[in-house]
Structure 1
Amino acid sequence: MAEDVPTGSDPFPNSISGVTNKASWKHRSPYKIQSDEEFGPVKWVGRCQCGQIEYKLNREKPLKSKYCHCRGCQVLHGAPFQWATIFHKPDITFTKGADGLAFYSSTEKSREYMNPTKVSCSFCHTPIMDEGRNVCLLFPAAIDYGSTEQEREKWIRAFEVECHIFYSCRAVEIPDRKPKWSGLDDRSELLDDSGNPKKT
């Protein structure tokens, strides 16, 4: 929480605030700060674990929602798979902490901003999103689902997973009757729940 940060100290020890005013990425979606009128009605709010970073979404449902079982996602998230949802960049705007974002290019092994990039909170290191060239992958677990059972049900329906990708690299088997692709969806072989090629 923000109140745990000692008074007078920089809440972001690895802050990039010294360069953000000149950085071109800060002046375009999803980083560009927008007025409420410009952004439109807020459908969801997400935040990092420490609360220093906060963003909002103006789209009710993502373009797609999927579980990714690739080795990169397993290592980065420290979990058997990653739950990711796809949004257009203008669907997102940061309301707090944009100067405290940290970037990492897994292809270049660099912390300099470049596209595509992985975005996290530089204070608590919560993954915020993967910014691609045209879209962003957000993580529904960081999106607030409210305090009532009805609000939680709405969240579950909005971010329901449509398929699994890179299921050939799975650490666990998930018998959920969702399509399971050996690699990218619609561009690889369909597998059954046990990882065997699906009979057509």
Structure 2
Amino acid sequence: MSTARPDVKRVRSDQDHSKKSTKDNEDKRQKSESKDDEEKEENKDVDWLNEQPFRANESWESWTTVWRQSCWCGKVAFVYNADPLQAKICHCEDCQRLHGAPFQHAAVFKKEMVRLDSDPEWLGFLSAHGEVHPLSKTPTPIPHKISCRACGSPLMDQGNNMIMAFPPTFEWPRTNKEVEEGNSKAGDKDAGEQEKKEDSHAAGGEGHKRNGKWERPGLPDVFKPQCHIFYERRVVDVADGLVKWRGHKDTEKMEDNQR
């Protein structure tokens, strides 16, 4: 079930669009968008787009999607052909600041399990380890974060062999109503249409339904974290019964409220 949002043109209500300064800013924005449209065609032939985890020019013939991930505005999406190897919660200060949140929830995949399912024009890259490389439309040194340049949604961290994707950006039903609506739509399709949907690379979560239907809302079990890392640097205590590591995994264990 896709949760990608439609394109929406947002205008701030506190701006006076009759002012020359506002019109000039709008003209600059439109020119910038036109330039991005021109660069979109150029990006399609860039070498890095043929590499993992993008694989933009590979055939979809042997690909089967298990999960789909998309940003808030829907301009950037990735698909996955397997469940994550593990999931964890990171409390390091880098993750806190870069996500604007108490911690980062990440699911680990091999790069070969992932590929791009959208145009590359809105991909954003940021290296935040060691020397900082500002947000770029082309890959910065690894490890780096991949996000949507349009809405700013962070999607994954990319390393040399693995990626850490963020489960809240994956497409699964959040409420009972979404489960009912999604299953109702699936039931309305005839057998031929349903078969076509299941063969499509855009059909997410097929491996976690029963008879093609979602069983319940909420975070799928495969994305539930197994442990916390860098728990000493936490913003809030988390009493969830999971193992807490002071640093990386397999360092020193900590209690929920220990400092």
TM-score (norm 2): 0.67
Pick the aligned partner of 2:7 from 3, 26, 32.
3
For 1:2 and 1:67, how far apart are their aligned partners in 2?
A: 30
For 1:28 and 1:181, how far apart are their aligned partners in 2?
A: 34
Alignment partner of 1:162 is 2:226: yes
Offset of 1:4 from its aligned partner?
A: 2.2
- Counterpart of 1:121 in structure 2 is 148
For 1:105 and 1:35, how far apart are their aligned partners in 2?
A: 30
Structure 1 residues 193, 28: CA separation in 2 closer, same or farther (over 3 Å shift)? same
More helix by percentage: 2
Alignment partner of 1:55 is 2:119: no
Q: Which consecutive unaligned segments of at least 5 residues does structure 1 have?
A: none
Q: Is the 8 Å Cα contact of residues 88 and 134 (structure 1) preserved in structure 2? A: yes
For 1:64 and 1:12, how far apart are their aligned partners in 2?
A: 40
Q: Is the 8 Å Cα contact of residues 158 and 164 (structure 2) preserved in structure 1? A: yes
Q: Is the 8 Å Cα contact of residues 5 and 11 (structure 1) preserved in structure 2? A: no
- Counterpart of 1:192 in structure 2 is 255
- Counterpart of 1:137 in structure 2 is 164
- Counterpart of 1:35 in structure 2 is 59
Q: Is the 8 Å Cα contact of residues 14 and 123 (structure 1) preserved in structure 2? A: no
Name the SS of the counterpart of 1:76 in structure 2.
helix
Count residues with an aligned counterpart: 191
Structure 1 residues 82, 14: CA separation in 2 closer, same or farther (over 3 Å shift)? farther
Q: Is the 8 Å Cα contact of residues 7 and 73 (structure 2) preserved in structure 1? A: no
Structure 1 residues 4, 175: CA separation in 2 closer, same or farther (over 3 Å shift)? same
For 2:66 and 2:47, how far apart are their aligned partners in 1?
A: 27
The Cα RMSD (Å) is 2.6
Structure 1 residues 41, 18: CA separation in 2 closer, same or farther (over 3 Å shift)? closer
Q: Is the 8 Å Cα contact of residues 26 and 32 (structure 1) preserved in structure 2? A: yes
Structure 1 residues 15, 178: CA separation in 2 closer, same or farther (over 3 Å shift)? farther
Structure 1 residues 65, 35: CA separation in 2 closer, same or farther (over 3 Å shift)? same
TM-score (norm 1): 0.85
For 1:19 and 1:143, how far apart are their aligned partners in 2?
A: 29
Q: Is the 8 Å Cα contact of residues 44 and 120 (structure 2) preserved in structure 1? A: no
Pick the aligned partner of 1:104 from 122, 126, 131.
126
- Counterpart of 1:150 in structure 2 is 215
For 2:37 and 2:247, how far apart are their aligned partners in 1?
A: 35
Structure 1 residues 110, 15: CA separation in 2 closer, same or farther (over 3 Å shift)? farther
More strand by percentage: 1
Offset of 1:90 from its aligned partner?
A: 1.4
Q: Which consecutive unaligned segments of at least 5 residues does structure 2 have?
A: 11-29, 180-213
Q: Is the 8 Å Cα contact of residues 12 and 122 (structure 1) preserved in structure 2? A: no
Deviating above 4 A after TM superposition, structure 1's stretches of 4 or more consecutive aligned residues are 11-16
